[in-house]
């Protein structure tokens, strides 16, 4: 509107009083120049050069963060310019032909920044263009633009990120709904009495929340006293707000009685960790209603769930804060970034709300798909591992859901799978323990669901850390399976899930001591081999050392595994700590010198790499580089790789390896099929 007003003013030029400045021409020229001449920002160029020249890893990381921030700033300017152009069109200051030109230009020079600008432009002008006097021409132009957007959304491998794809989907949905946003549709619907009362209560809650909570600058130590003067805080103002709200109730259109009845139902599957919600929000406290399930013999749960007694004092979330938590989670699903999620969480939620926030995050996750649950669980794990949320607060937040789990399981069959995604990484990181989980799982155990909860939890731990680690932490907590599962179920449960390692083995003390001695010998042998390789000794020298010190044992399985691990570690120990083909090739001829047969040599070689990847916690891309090298150098045959892939021997850590190597085995199969066709 300001631009509209300025375009109507006559402002004389400085050097000629009889001539006037044409504001409309100036603003259009400025927008056109910024739209057409997309110059690379000088600050971005400067930072890119500094990043390229920088050798210090710490400083380079800081420069990359600054560069990303500058690139976002430039992108935001471009998107903002597109929205501004759209607003000028809505005011009649630009023509529809200019709009079609802008849209075609953004489509022809396709990149993520242009696509985001196009979506912002369409969101701004779409409704006006559909209703324009030159309707048929503009409709055809819009149809062509949307065909391109449909194609981008349909093709999943065109280099467009998920964030931009979601923006495109939103614009397509907006056009399908006649350019009416969700908020506009909701605002046009008649309100129920419950909604009116809830809005009035929420208004009071928000004012109290503003009074009670410091601003972001105050939380960070920059106290701004003047801000408190603008906040409504005294009793008379509270009364004024209440009176105004009550007057507004009379003028609002009420919905039919049936709507008011349905609006009072509680949401399924939501739980709150807070024992005593504030009196002004009792209608909104989240509980689990089990009336419809009473026939199953589980009873009704109509009260809020209590926290563990030993946790730090915590407060419930207001409806406004719940919406903030949900917004954080949804934004993270669109553009997953654990570090940004943690940073926003810190800025949004003080420590006294952490337990309730964990509950809210879990409530949101339980309604999502498995893929989304994994993203949310990963970000939640980062909250705890970074120290933002304590393990005690996590346990406090999850307690309510654990107590209601047997009832929730009826409606959410994947419940225990989802809970495993949240708890397994925390046990692996030693933020919580099996013993602590046992303390809050009593209702699950009493309902004979202990085996359902343990199965995905232990399976996820095995995949990420290995069975040896799981056995160690299980024994450290002095727990027995009969505490979780009915004794008659244990043998079959162990057999079906291949969890036999959890039961104490029958090895004698002498056997254990012998095994420990042998393990030390293997580690020492591998260490010396690696020292010789790092000292750049030739293959003949290393072969001589093996004959003199290892002897006949060099034909055993353990030696081939130790040898390949030493060769791979040598290939990783260069200046940049990345996999080096040259360093790998330097000592790979040693592999063919040992083993009774090719099959035995190849099997032990791949099993040794599997063990090494488990120890290194699966560095991204490393397994596929090693396997590709072994294939290209004809050290391992295609048959050897295939035999390892289908083998059920030593499953520890193999699942993660197979996921990482999926492209490798796909290429092998495609090459084999094409050679068979020829």
* Helix, strand, coil share of the chain (percent; to 5): 70, 0, 30
Tokens of 628: 């590709």
Q: What is the pLDDT of residues 611-626, one digit of tens each?
A: 888 888 888 888 999 9
pLDDT at 318 over 80: yes
User: Which comes out higher in pLDDT, residue 243 or 599?
Assistant: 599
Q: Phi and psi for 424 in degrees, rounded to 5?
A: -60, -50
DSSP conformational letter for 663 = H
Mean pLDDT of 151-168: 73
Q: What is the DSSP string of 363-432?
A: HHHTTS-HHHHHHHHHHHHHHHHTTSS-HHHHHHHHHHHHHHHHHHHHH-TTHHHHHHHHHHHHHHTTSS
Tokens of 201: 């209560």
Q: What is the pLDDT of residue 73?
A: 81
Least Cα distance to 376 among 408, 421, 420 occurs for 421
Q: What is the pLDDT of residues 443-489, one digit of tens each?
A: 899 888 988 999 999 988 888 878 777 888 888 777 788 888 988 88
Q: Which residue has the tokens 């360093």?
A: 583
DSSP SS3 for 274 = coil
Q: What is the pLDDT of residue 270?
A: 41
Tokens of 218: 């105050």
The Cα 23–Cα 654 span in angstroms is 69
Q: Beta partners for 20? A: 12
Would you say the pTM of this structure is higher than 0.95?
no
* Residue 514: how many other CB atoms lie within 10 Å: 12
Q: What is the pLDDT of residues 240-264, one digit of tens each?
A: 333 443 434 333 333 333 333 333 3
Q: Which residue has the tokens 């309707």?
A: 135
Lowest-pLDDT choice from 51-65, 419-433, 560-574: 51-65
Q: What is the pLDDT of residues 510-530, one digit of tens each?
A: 445 555 666 788 888 888 999
Torsion angle of alpha carbons 196, 200, 201, 206, nearest 10°? 130
The Cα 372–Cα 620 span in angstroms is 22
Q: What is the mean pLDDT of the chain?
A: 75
Q: Phi and psi for 11 in degrees, rounded to 5?
A: -115, 120
- Cβ proximity of 382 and 274 under 8 Å: no
Q: What is the pLDDT of residues 270-314, one digit of tens each?
A: 444 333 333 333 333 333 333 333 333 333 333 333 333 444 567
User: Which comes out higher in pLDDT, residue 223 or 7?
Assistant: 7
Q: Which residue has the tokens 């710490």?
A: 58
Q: What is the pLDDT of residue 235?
A: 39
* Residue 232: how many other CB atoms lie within 10 Å: 13
Q: What is the pLDDT of residue 352?
A: 85
Q: What is the pLDDT of residues 166-212, one digit of tens each?
A: 888 888 888 887 787 766 655 556 667 676 777 777 777 666 655 55
Q: What is the pLDDT of residue 409?
A: 86
Q: What is the pLDDT of residue 595?
A: 77
Q: Where are the alpha helices (DSSP H) in 412-483?
A: 415-428, 434-440, 442-446, 450-465, 467-476
Q: Where are the alpha helices (DSSP H) in 253-369?
A: 257-262, 319-334, 338-348, 354-365
pLDDT at 38 over 80: no
Q: What is the pLDDT of residues 360-402, one digit of tens each?
A: 999 999 888 888 899 999 999 999 988 899 988 999 899 988 9
pLDDT at 17 over 80: no
pLDDT at 33 over 80: no
The Cα 45–Cα 51 span in angstroms is 10
181-190 CB burial, b ≥16 within 10 A, e <16: eeeeeeeeee
Q: Which helix (H) or strand (E) holds 11?
A: strand 11-12
Q: What is the pLDDT of residues 544-570, one digit of tens each?
A: 899 888 887 888 888 899 999 999 999
Helices 450-465 and 490-497: crossing angle, nearest 10°? 30
Q: What is the pLDDT of residue 566?
A: 92
- Cβ proximity of 492 and 456 under 8 Å: no
Side-chain-facing half-sphere of 326: CA atoms under 13 Å: 12
Q: Which helix (H) or strand (E) holds 20?
A: strand 20-21
Q: What is the pLDDT of residue 2?
A: 65
Q: What is the pLDDT of residue 43?
A: 75
pLDDT band at 419 (very low <50, low <70, confident <90, very high): very high
The Cα 47–Cα 52 span in angstroms is 9
The Cα 79–Cα 73 span in angstroms is 10
């Amino acid at each position: 509107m300001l631009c509209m007003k300025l375009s109507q003013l006559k402002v004389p030029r400085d050097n000629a009083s009889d001539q006037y400045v044409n504001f409309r021409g100036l603003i259009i020229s400025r927008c056109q120049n910024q739209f057409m001449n997309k110059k690379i920002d000088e600050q971005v160029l400067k930072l890119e050069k500094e990043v390229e020249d920088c050798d210090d890893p710490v400083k380079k990381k800081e420069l990359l963060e600054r560069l990303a921030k500058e690139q976002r700033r430039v992108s935001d300017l471009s998107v903002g310019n597109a929205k501004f152009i759209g607003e000028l069109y809505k005011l009649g200051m630009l023509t529809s032909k200019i709009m079609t030109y802008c849209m075609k230009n953004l489509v022809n020079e396709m990149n993520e920044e242009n696509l985001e600008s196009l979506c912002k432009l369409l969101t701004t002008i779409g409704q006006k263009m559909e209703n324009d006097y030159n309707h048929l021409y503009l409709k055809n132009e819009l149809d062509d633009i949307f065909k391109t957007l449909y194609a981008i959304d349909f093709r999943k491998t065109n280099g467009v990120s998920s964030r931009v794809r979601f923006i495109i989907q939103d614009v397509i949905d907006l056009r399908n709904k006649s350019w009416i946003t969700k908020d506009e549709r909701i605002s046009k619907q008649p309100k129920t009495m419950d909604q009116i009362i809830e809005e009035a209560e929420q208004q009071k809650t928000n004012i109290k929340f503003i009074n009670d909570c410091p601003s972001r600058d105050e939380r960070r130590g920059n106290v701004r006293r003047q801000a408190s003067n603008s906040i409504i805080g005294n009793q008379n103002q509270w009364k004024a707000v209440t009176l105004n709200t009550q007057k507004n109730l009379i003028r609002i259109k009420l919905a039919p009685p049936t709507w008011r009845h349905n609006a009072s139902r509680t949401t399924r599957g939501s739980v709150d960790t807070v024992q005593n919600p504030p009196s002004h929000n009792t209608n909104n406290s989240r509980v689990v209603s089990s009336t419809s399930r009473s026939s199953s013999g589980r009873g009704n749960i109509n009260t809020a769930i209590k926290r563990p007694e030993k946790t730090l004092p915590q407060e419930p979330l207001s409806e406004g804060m719940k919406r903030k938590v949900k917004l954080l989670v949804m934004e993270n699903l669109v553009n997953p970034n654990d570090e940004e999620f943690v940073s926003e969480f810190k800025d949004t939620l003080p420590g006294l709300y952490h337990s309730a926030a964990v509950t809210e995050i879990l409530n949101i996750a339980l309604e999502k798909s498995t893929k989304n649950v994994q993203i949310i669980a990963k970000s939640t794990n980062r909250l705890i591992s970074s120290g933002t949320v304590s393990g005690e607060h996590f346990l406090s937040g999850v307690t309510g859901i654990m107590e209601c789990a047997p009832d929730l399981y009826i409606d959410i069959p994947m419940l225990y799978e989802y809970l495993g995604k949240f708890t397994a990484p925390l046990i692996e990181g030693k933020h919580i323990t099996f013993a602590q989980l046992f303390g809050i799982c009593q209702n699950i155990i009493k309902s004979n669901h202990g085996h359902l909860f343990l199965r995905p939890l232990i399976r996820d731990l095995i995949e990420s850390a290995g069975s040896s680690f799981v056995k160690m932490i299980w024994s450290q907590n002095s727990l027995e399976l009969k505490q979780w599962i009915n004794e008659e179920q244990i043998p079959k449960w162990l057999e079906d899930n291949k969890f036999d390692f959890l039961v104490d083995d029958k090895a004698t003390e002498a056997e254990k001591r012998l095994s420990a001695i042998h393990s030390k010998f293997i580690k020492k042998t591998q260490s010396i081999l690696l020292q010789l390789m790092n000292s750049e000794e030739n293959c003949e020298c290393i072969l001589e050392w093996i004959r003199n010190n290892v002897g006949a044992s060099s034909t055993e399985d353990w030696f081939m595994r130790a040898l390949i691990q030493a060769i791979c570690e040598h290939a990783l120990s260069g200046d940049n700590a990345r996999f080096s083909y040259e360093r790998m090739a330097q000592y790979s001829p040693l592999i063919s010198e040992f083993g009774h047969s090719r099959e035995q040599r190849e099997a032990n070689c791949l099993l040794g790499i599997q063990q090494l990847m488990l120890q290194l916690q699966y560095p991204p891309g490393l397994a596929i580089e090693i396997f590709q090298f072994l294939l290209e150098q004809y050290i391992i045959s295609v048959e050897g790789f295939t035999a390892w892939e289908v083998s059920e021997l030593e499953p520890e850590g193999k699942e993660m390896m197979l996921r990482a190597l999926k492209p490798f085995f796909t290429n092998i199969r495609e090459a084999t099929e094409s050679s068979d066709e020829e």
